[in-house]
Chains A and B, each alone.
Chain A
Amino acid sequence: MFIIEIENLSHRFEDGTLGLDRISLQIQEGAFVVVAGPNGSGKTTLVRHLNGLLLPTSGFVRLAGVCVQHDLLRARRLVGMMFQDADSQIVGETVYGDVAFGPENLKLNRNRIKERVSHALDAVGLTDFADQSPHLLSGGEKRRLAIAGILAMEPRVIAFDEPFSSLDFPGVKQVLKQILALHQSGHTILVITHDLEKVIAHADRLIVMQKGKIASDGVPAEIVNAVETFGVRAPCASLLGLEVSSWLN
């Protein structure tokens, strides 16, 4: 079943720049997709159409059969989004308050909120930080908090926009482990990045974007060697003719 169906999607910004140019693609439920491309290729613009943060100039996006524009609230419940700058995603004054923000917006009762928050904090290993100010967390912990905030909304698709930027090696491993755990629990994962090295070993599909269009789309092992043509650095191992291995190994 396709959880995401995009047809002829174009987006033109107010200043006239064409962000997306007639994009069509389908994503299977439970897939692990990496969307790569150089800066300004339209990766973030594409993903922001999935939950209606941006609306198409033409074309449409369907989530589990329903057009995003017809029900924005449903779209935002279905697609959780982790932004590039985890700091800017933090709304609460405490870790608990931040995770509870989404469920409170869904008007859930307090018991349900507590249940969801404790489950989400447990899933990312931040239960002991519940009363702490989010600004005192490390970079990796902030990313995990952002993931907990998304999990509390119980989405089916989770999109990560540059989840590894500015993280040290342990931070990258923490976040990567979390992403894999979410994928194993049945979530559809979309990782937007220009740095394939850290995540490509786990993906089952690679979409490369350039100038608002899909430049290449396929199984990573088959197309990864050609990504440098589109302004994306190929993983070192593939350049050396070796198999790309996980950063967790």
Chain B
Amino acid sequence: MAELTSFGFRSGTSLLHRLDVRFKLFFLILISLISLSGDFIRLGIFTGLLTALVIHSRLPLKSGLKGLRFFLFLLLLILVTRMVTTPGDAILEIKSYSVTRQGILSGVLICWRLTIIVLLGFAFVFTTRSLEIKAAVAWVLKPLAFIPGKRIATMMGLTTRFVPVILNQANETAEAQRARCVENRKNPVYRLTRLGIPLIRRTFEQADKLAIAMEARCYTDNRTDPELSATRIDWMALGVMILICSLVVSI
């Protein structure tokens, strides 16, 4: 649980911390879209910008990378796959597989793009309170009359709230079963069923209790609107970001 909660908001006073969440969300989408079709030069510029922001915001890279270790493994897998499946000039041949120059370049490019997008998400999550993210989602969905924005935002919040509870319960159930020598049963389906069924039951019971507690506190969809306010810094950041992105696109 501590591992999970280490990958979340860290308070601070940096520019990223002070920016309005809607602007940050817009920058995240804008840079991600440009990065998806970016070449090495464009990605280099964004990497420089991102590095400066990470250093300025004092983001905890170590714990972030720890949280992203499975993603790094995925990147490695993508790189290897692209290296051996892209046709081109062979650099190295292992049995019937050949590693091509084009494959390496294409693999590195894809991994770089994905890394930039994930690091942007990382910077966003570490500098934005989940309450603000919820507020931004409700704000974005507000004009869409047929989508209950506030309810979706509340559900998002509850999901975030439930993840550590479910993990905790899974841990407790697994420990209780280990104490009764479940490890002697080698059949993974048996073990999964024995863990899954009580876990699901307990999760539903918790959800039931939570619903009653929310009702006791007068829960309604028609709640106070979340607080969002754009300042001069946000508009200046928007101007600078549009300028940088225009330059990057025109290269």
Spell out A's residues near B (CB within 8 Å).
51, 53, 73, 76-77, 80-81, 83, 85, 87-94, 96-97, 101-110, 113, 131, 133, 135-136, 149-150, 153
A97–B157 CA distance with the chains assembled, in angstroms: 10
Does B223 have its Cβ within 8 Å of any Cβ on chain A?
Answer: yes
A sample of 21 inter-chain contacts (CB < 8 A) reads A76-B216, A87-B206, A91-B157, A91-B161, A93-B131, A93-B157, A94-B129, A96-B131, A97-B130, A97-B131, A101-B214, A101-B217, A102-B217, A104-B223, A105-B219, A106-B218, A110-B227, A131-B129, A135-B164, A136-B5, A153-B218
A residues within 8 A CB of B223? 104-105, 107
B residues within 8 A CB of A109? 224
Contact B164 A107 (CB under 8 A): no
A81–B217 CA distance with the chains assembled, in angstroms: 8
* Minimum C-beta distance from B14 to chain A (A): 15
* Minimum C-beta distance from A201 to chain B (A): 28
Does B215 have its Cβ within 8 Å of any Cβ on chain A?
Answer: yes
Report the interface size class on chain B: 20 to 34
> Knowing A93-B160, A109-B224 touch, does A81 contact B131 (C-beta < 8 A)?
no
A204–B216 CA distance with the chains assembled, in angstroms: 26
* Minimum C-beta distance from A216 to chain B (A): 28
Within 8 A of A (CB), among B99-118: none
Contact A88 B206 (CB under 8 A): yes
Q: Mark B8-22, 1 if CB is under 8 A from A, else 0.
A: 110100000000000
Closest residue to B167 on the A side, CB-wise? A135
Spell out B's residues near A (CB within 8 Å).
1, 5, 8-9, 11, 129-131, 157-158, 160-161, 164-165, 168, 206, 209-210, 212-220, 222-224, 227
Closest residue to B225 on the A side, CB-wise? A110
A217–B221 CA distance with the chains assembled, in angstroms: 41
Closest residue to A149 on the B side, CB-wise? B217
> Knowing A93-B160, A94-B131, A135-B5 touch, does A76 contact B209 (C-beta < 8 A)?
no
* Minimum C-beta distance from A179 to chain B (A): 18
B residues within 8 A CB of A89? 209-210, 213
Contact of B218 among A73, A94, A133 (CB under 8 A): A73
A89-B209, A90-B161 known; 15 other A-B pairs, CB under 8 Å?
A: A76-B217, A81-B216, A83-B209, A88-B213, A91-B157, A91-B213, A92-B157, A93-B160, A101-B217, A105-B217, A105-B223, A107-B224, A135-B5, A135-B165, A135-B168
Contact B164 A76 (CB under 8 A): no
> Knowing A93-B131, A93-B157, A131-B11 touch, does A102 contact B218 (C-beta < 8 A)?
yes
Specify the main secondary structure of chain B where it touches its partner.
helix
Contact B161 A93 (CB under 8 A): yes
A103–B219 CA distance with the chains assembled, in angstroms: 10
A residues within 8 A CB of B216? 51, 53, 76, 80-81, 83
A residues within 8 A CB of B8? 133
> Knowing A94-B130, A133-B5 touch, does A77 contact B218 (C-beta < 8 A)?
yes
Contact A91 B158 (CB under 8 A): yes
* Minimum C-beta distance from A68 to chain B (A): 13
Closest residue to B215 on the A side, CB-wise? A53
A109–B227 CA distance with the chains assembled, in angstroms: 10
* Minimum C-beta distance from B38 to chain A (A): 34
Pick from B5, B165, B223 the residue with the most CB of A within 10 Å. B223
Contact of A105 among B1, B131, B220 (CB under 8 A): B220
> Knowing A76-B218, A110-B224 touch, does A88 contact B129 (C-beta < 8 A)?
no
B residues within 8 A CB of A94? 129-131
A residues within 8 A CB of B164? 133, 135
Q: Which 3 A-B pairs have the closest CB atoms?
A: A88-B209, A102-B217, A105-B218
Pick from B8, B158, B168, B224 the residue with the most CB of A within 10 Å. B224
* Minimum C-beta distance from B86 to chain A (A): 43
Contact B210 A88 (CB under 8 A): yes
Closest residue to A51 on the B side, CB-wise? B216
B residues within 8 A CB of A107? 220, 222-224
A residues within 8 A CB of B213? 83, 88-89, 91
B residues within 8 A CB of A91? 157-158, 161, 210, 213-214, 217
